[in-house]
Amino acid sequence: MFDIKGLNEECGVFAITNNKDALTLTYYGLHCLQHRGQEAAGIAFRNEDYIEVFKGKGLVAEVLTDSLMASTSSREAIGHVRYATAGGLGLANVQPFSFRFYDESIALAHNGHIGNAKLLKRKLEAKGSVFSATSDSEILIHLLRHEHGAFQDRLINSLNQLDGAFAYVMLHDSGLYGIRDRYGLRPLSIGQLSDDSYVLTSETCVFSVIGAKYLRDVEPGEIVRIHDGKIESSFYARETSQNLCLMEYVYFSRPDSSLDGTNVHFARKLSGRILAQESSVDADIVVGVPDSSISAAIGYAEATGVPYEMGLIKNKYVGRTFIQPTQELREKGVRMKLSAVNEIVGGKRIVLIDDSIVRGTTCKRIVQLLKEAGASEVHVRIASPAIKYPCYYGVDISTYEELISNRLDVAELGEYINADSLQFLSLDGLQNALLATKYGADYPKEKRYCTACFNGEYVTSLYDSVEKFNVDKKDL
């Protein structure tokens, strides 16, 4: 067993080109992506012939001020919202990164995790590179500077040296770029604002807010270049595959986003229906943990005929409990964030639907809240499988030690959270829910998603992540 604490980031990226309101729309875009990271935000834009960056710790609305938005007439911009685990947030790691060389200017924002970052950094430092950040996001720039020839060739050669999960947006003198890793682990979509104005975003929920039309997703291994109002496509890798992160559907993405042509709300709702088929239980009401479990709870209620009720109310003004650095603070955070409604849950047998269990803190607290409010039984149903393996692809789940399903089996975990019963959705059930949402009832039985945190089947080599913590690969 080994730890990878502090390694991961979950982020949101946004980019826009050829638009007179580029900065304001980037602000709106980042605001829509705020759920993907609340610790820091930043924006890079063109100011005359160089690229300027404005970034800081805090929420989008705190970091990006009105005066900044009014201070430039830039027609292109990229932006980033950042989530970092405890200890991982120095200002130097806040994105976008911007670099001004004698012959080119580049700004870059990244969502994901580069698996071979440590090896590459060592190699680059030996060649004279100096890194200003501890995160792996600026490696691409250093690789680019060591390549020769046309920018596109340098980019392809550099990307081919990276292994891992990434969605990049990049502002360069030659255009605006959107790039996805060859495994398709992290999402990136293209939208159109007008004939010659385009946006790139981690999630499509942005489009309805800024008035853009969804065009398509950037493909795994694809480099999209937007220049002079036109989109050009090329691929840096010949061998590509579809392994979009399952947790994007389970938890991260907003329900009004569609990933890989699959609406998140409908996918969650169907996962709730399948959960009901797999493990329904006699109950009076169905309660979902707000917000990310509500779609699945509606699906479960529809499938069983047990009424859905608002047994839990969320205080929207408390940050995610996950971001508290200690277990004690996290536990307090859950209490501040959620209240049980006595009048609704008192004397009732409840099916509690949650999207996932990571450390077990949230679920244990919620069961306690419901019982304190008078619930007679609380049966917990989780709309995803048990998370037993850490993520090396940019998601904060986390260490083997912290993953409670790595230590306890379902019966032990049910006892730990004090539930009257506990069941998880099967991995097939979850994948079938997504495939059926995408293709309809006759969906193809294909492998389309990353399932590593559920079954340990990682799609890339893990060399760097393992080496970083001095652990022998055989421990996997």
Q: Which residues bind ligand AMP (CB under 6 A)?
A: 251, 292, 320, 322, 354-363, 395-397
Chosen residue from 144, 167, 185, 188 binding ligand SF4 by CB under 6 A: 185
3 state SS for the chain:
CCCCCCCCEEEEEEEEECCCCHHHHHHHHHHHCHHHCCCEEEEEEEECCEEEEEEEECCHHHHCCHHHHHCCCCCCEEEEEEEECCCCCCHHHCCCEEEECCCCEEEEEEEEEECCHHHHHHHHHHCCCCCCCCCCCCHHHHHHHHCCCCHHHHHHHHHCCCCEEEEEEEEECCEEEEEECCCCCCCCEEEEEECCEEEEECCCHHHHHHCCEEEEECCCCEEEEEECCEEEEEECCCCCCCCEEHHHHHHHCCCCCEECCEEHHHHHHHHHHHHHHHHCCCCCEEEECCCCCHHHHHHHHHHHCCCECCCEEECCCCCCHHHCCCHHHHHHHHHHHEEECHHHHCCCEEEEEECCCCCCHHHHHHHHHHHHCCCCEEEEEECCCCCCCCCCCCCCCCCCCCCHHHHCCHHHHHHHCCCCEEEECCHHHHHHHHHHHHHCCCCCCCCCEECHHHHCCCCCCCHHHHHHCCCCHHHC
Min CB(205)–ligand AMP separation in Å: 17
Q: Which is nearer to ligand SF4, 185 or 422 (CB)?
A: 185
Q: Which of 11, 32, 391, 450 is catalytic?
A: 11
Q: Which is nearer to ligand AMP, 177 or 252 (CB)?
A: 252
Q: Is 11 a catalytic residue?
A: yes
Show the binding pattern over residues 437-456: x = contacts ligand SF4 (CB under 6 A), - = does not: -------------x-xx---
Sites for ligand SF4 among residues 187-246 (CB under 6 A): 245-246
Number of residues that bind ligand SF4 (CB under 6 A): 11
Show the binding pattern over residues 392-411: x = contacts ligand SF4 (CB under 6 A), - = does not: -x-x-x--------------
Q: Quick one: what does residue 453 bind among ligand SF4, ligand AMP, none, with the CB cut-off 5 to 8 Å set by partner type?
A: ligand SF4
Chosen residue from 247, 357, 363, 417 binding ligand SF4 by CB under 6 A: 247
Q: Quick one: what does residue 290 bind among ligand AMP, ligand SF4, none, with the CB cut-off 5 to 8 Å set by partner type?
A: none
Min CB(460)–ligand SF4 separation in Å: 10
Sites for ligand SF4 among residues 373-392 (CB under 6 A): 391
Sites for ligand SF4 among residues 147-166 (CB under 6 A): none
Q: Which is nearer to ligand AMP, 168 or 393 (CB)?
A: 393
Min CB(36)–ligand AMP separation in Å: 10
Residues assigned a catalytic role: 11
